[in-house]
């Protein structure tokens, strides 16, 4: 599929007002609409003010959608089922997982511990009725002579904001119909057709329900494994709502520590809570070391992993999402190991940028020299999810010269993707903010298989996160970005 020329795309983008006084009239309408439609976060808690534990604040959003090339959007949406299949095959290739992750050595304690749990689960022969993949492939639009979507990462665990993303799209349609964006739209055009439909509000719940059915116990429950003090509750509650209203499946919310304290595995490998069987444990936690502050959390996760309950993701899926896997996939012949069709493999590769190891191999040493010589061309990534961990620019030499050779193995080097900035309008904490921004597009993927048959393999909607152009990271929950929706051009 041909992309759009950068110059043509830039010329077709709308022009938004940057006059905050002129735009202030929209804030009350926006904030009230958010409150009415569940576009909310829990307010930061306070030990001295207990009322704050149930106080709500509007989610950070854009006032209007942000331009994305239609050709790029259509391409990555169509590619998602292929990526779902690719990562499922990676997760099932034990030799590939072992050889790739062992190359990290002992450099990353957290990944090593997840890897050791995977090996233990395999050794003990834990059997699961199926796998459920809830993925998200993230992209930035790289501005060369022609705009191209380039993959930032592939998330296999706790891919968030699917629900709120769909609601933001509804908000932008409402604002267009209600106000025609008068005073905000200074030039160009916005039509309803340019804001694509988004099934991410329902796709995750429906994917979990498909796996639940394969578990084969209609009276069982789903456990959503959450972080203590979770603020992004309503993004999660929409999934719970879908499971109940569409599929009549009950959802419980537990932390890993609460699973340790309240759950048991019986002689038939069933995971039980107060005698109630758990069919699915859907992780919205467990992607970072901070989610395992004590042995209690690790014990809670192991209860899930050794039982018959379906973990979302499985340990193999969790490991398949590591940055080291992403880097090795970029090596010649590796995608082709999992995808036989040469044309399909080439389409996957077109989304890659340069990815390099930072180990003691000749390739790794060359990459280290590249990063030290021209650090502003790259980003250094550890084996982490959740935002705030990547290293950019002048901080790269500081990192690489301060870590040991063994520690450096835990990082990869990636070409920096340069997206075209856009002057947008954000609403954060009830205030309107104008900023030059860039947007990161995520496509959700839903994959369910019993090991023999693929039951579900589809794209599951999209997320657009928008951040100030001078901010490197892009996580909403980490405080770097706002939730947006695409305006297709």
3-class SS at 170? helix
Q: Which of 150, 242, 308, 465 is catalytic?
A: 465
179: exposed, middle or buried (C-beta count within 10 Å: 0-12, 13-18, 19+)?
A: middle
Question: Which pLDDT score, from 0 to 100, does residue 471 have?
Answer: 76
Average pLDDT over every residue of 156-180:
97
Asked whether the beta carbons of 163 and 26 are under 8 A apart, the reply is no
Asked whether the beta carbons of 12 and 153 are under 8 A apart, the reply is no
**Which pLDDT band holds residue 107 (cuts at 50, 70, 90)?**
confident
Is the pLDDT confidence value at 481 over 70? Answer: yes
Distance in Å from the first CA to the final CA of the chain:
15
Tally of CB atoms within 10 A around 289 = 12
* 234-244 residue pLDDT tens: 999 999 999 99
**Which pLDDT band holds residue 384 (cuts at 50, 70, 90)?**
confident
Q: Which of 91, 107, 160, 390 is catalytic?
A: 160
How far is C-alpha 318 from the geometric centre of its chain's CA atoms?
12
Question: Which pLDDT score, from 0 to 100, does residue 2 have?
Answer: 54
Which residue bears the tokens 């199926």?
Answer: 130
* Whether residue 323 lies in the annotated active site: yes
**Which pLDDT band holds residue 453 (cuts at 50, 70, 90)?**
very high
Average pLDDT over every residue of 102-125:
93
Asked whether the beta carbons of 354 and 414 are under 8 A apart, the reply is yes
* 52-101 residue pLDDT tens: 678 899 999 999 999 999 999 999 999 999 999 999 999 999 999 999 99
Question: Which pLDDT score, from 0 to 100, does residue 235 have?
Answer: 98
Is the pLDDT confidence value at 48 over 70? Answer: no
Question: Which pLDDT score, from 0 to 100, does residue 183 have?
Answer: 92
What does pLDDT average to over the chain? 94
Please tell me the distance from the alpha carbon of residue 447 to that of residue 84, in angstroms, as a whole number.
Answer: 6
Which tokens hold the place of 97? 């997982």
* Whether residue 107 lies in the annotated active site: no
Q: Which of 150, 308, 324, 381 is catalytic?
A: 381
DSSP letter, residue 236: H
Please tell me the distance from the alpha carbon of residue 149 to that of residue 151, in angstroms, as a whole number.
Answer: 7
Which tokens hold the place of 294? 């004590």
Tally of CB atoms within 10 A around 237 = 16
* Whether residue 160 lies in the annotated active site: yes
Q: Which helix (H) or strand (E) holds 405?
A: helix 405-408
* Whether residue 457 lies in the annotated active site: no
442 bridge partner residues: 138, 463
Which tokens hold the place of 452? 């023999």
Question: Which pLDDT score, from 0 to 100, does residue 293 have?
Answer: 97
Average pLDDT over every residue of 151-173:
97
Q: Which of 315, 297, 229, 224 is nearest to 260 (CA)?
A: 297
Q: Which of 153, 277, 305, 440 is catalytic?
A: 153
Residues in the chain, overall count = 489
* Whether residue 381 lies in the annotated active site: yes
* 317-370 residue pLDDT tens: 999 999 999 999 999 999 999 999 999 999 999 999 999 999 999 999 999 999
Is the pLDDT confidence value at 472 over 70? Answer: no
Question: Which pLDDT score, from 0 to 100, does residue 46 have?
Answer: 55
Asked whether the beta carbons of 133 and 84 are under 8 A apart, the reply is yes
pTM of the model: 0.96
Average pLDDT over every residue of 116-126:
97
Q: Which of 142, 155, 198, 439 is catalytic?
A: 155
Please tell me the distance from the alpha carbon of residue 12 to that of residue 64, in angstroms, as a whole number.
Answer: 16
Q: Which of 240, 258, 297, 385 is catalytic?
A: 385
Average pLDDT over every residue of 404-423:
95
DSSP letter, residue 313: S
Tally of CB atoms within 10 A around 47 = 7
DSSP letter, residue 107: S
Q: Which of 3, 72, 128, 136 is catalytic?
A: 136
* 182-217 residue pLDDT tens: 999 999 999 999 999 999 999 999 999 999 999 999
* Whether residue 136 lies in the annotated active site: yes
Average pLDDT over every residue of 381-386:
81
Tally of CB atoms within 10 A around 32 = 11
Q: Which of 38, 354, 386, 387 is catalytic?
A: 386
Is the pLDDT confidence value at 1 over 50? Answer: no
Give percent of the chain with pLDDT exceeding 90.
90
Strand segments, DSSP code E, in 212-259 are 221-225, 251-254
* Whether residue 386 lies in the annotated active site: yes
Which tokens hold the place of 263? 């759950």
């Amino acid at each position: 599929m041909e992309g759009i020329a950068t110059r043509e795309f830039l010329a077709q983008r709308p022009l938004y007002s940057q006059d905050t006084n002129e735009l202030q009239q929209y804030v009350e309408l926006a904030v009230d609409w958010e409150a009415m439609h569940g576009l909310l976060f829990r307010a930061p808690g306070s030990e001295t003010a207990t009322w704050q534990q149930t106080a709500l604040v509007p989610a950070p959003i854009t006032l209007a959608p942000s331009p994305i090339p239609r050709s790029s959007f259509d391409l990555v949406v169509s590619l998602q089922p292929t990526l779902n299949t690719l990562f499922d095959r990676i997760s099932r290739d034990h030799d590939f997982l072992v050889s790739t992750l062992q190359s990290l050595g002992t450099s990353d304690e957290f990944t090593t511990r997840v890897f050791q749990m995977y090996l233990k689960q395999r050794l003990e022969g834990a059997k699961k009725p199926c796998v459920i993949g809830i993925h998200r492939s993230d992209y930035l639009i790289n501005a060369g002579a022609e705009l191209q979507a380039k993959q930032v990462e592939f998330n296999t665990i706790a891919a968030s904001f699917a629900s709120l993303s769909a609601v933001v799209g509804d908000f932008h349609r409402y604002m267009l119909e209600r106000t025609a964006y008068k005073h905000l739209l200074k030039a160009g055009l916005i039509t309803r057709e340019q804001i694509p439909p988004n099934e991410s509000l329902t796709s995750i719940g429906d994917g979990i329900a498909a796996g639940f059915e394969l578990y084969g116990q209609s009276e069982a429950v789903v456990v959503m494994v959450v972080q203590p003090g979770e603020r992004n509750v309503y993004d999660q509650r929409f999934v719970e709502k879908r499971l109940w209203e569409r599929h009549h499946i009950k959802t419980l919310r537990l932390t890993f520590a609460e699973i340790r304290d309240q759950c048991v595995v019986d002689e038939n490998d069933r995971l039980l809570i107060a005698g109630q069987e758990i069919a699915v444990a859907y992780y919205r936690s467990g992607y970072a070391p901070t989610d395992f502050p004590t042995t209690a959390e690790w014990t809670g996760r192991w209860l899930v992993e050794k039982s018959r309950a379906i973990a979302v993701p499985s340990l193999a899926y969790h490991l398949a999402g590591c940055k080291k896997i992403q880097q090795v996939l970029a090596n010649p012949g590796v995608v082709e190991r999992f995808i036989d069709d040469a044309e399909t493999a080439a389409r996957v590769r077109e989304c890659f940028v340069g990815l390099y190891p930072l180990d003691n191999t000749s390739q790794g040493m060359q990459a280290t020299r590249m990063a030290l010589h021209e650090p502003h061309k790259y980003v250094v990534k550890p084996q982490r999810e959740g935002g705030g961990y990547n290293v950019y620019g002048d901080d790269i030499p500081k990192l690489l010269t301060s870590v040991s050779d063994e520690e450096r193995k835990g990082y990869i080097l990636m070409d920096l993707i340069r997206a075209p900035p856009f002057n947008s309008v954000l609403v954060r904490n009830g205030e309107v903010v104008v900023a030059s921004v860039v947007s990161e597009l995520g496509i959700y993927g839903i994959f369910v298989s019993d090991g023999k048959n693929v039951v579900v393999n589809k794209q599951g909607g999209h997320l657009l996160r928008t951040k100030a152009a001078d901010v490197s990271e892009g996580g909403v929950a980490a405080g770097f970005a706002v939730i947006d929706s695409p305006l297709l051009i």
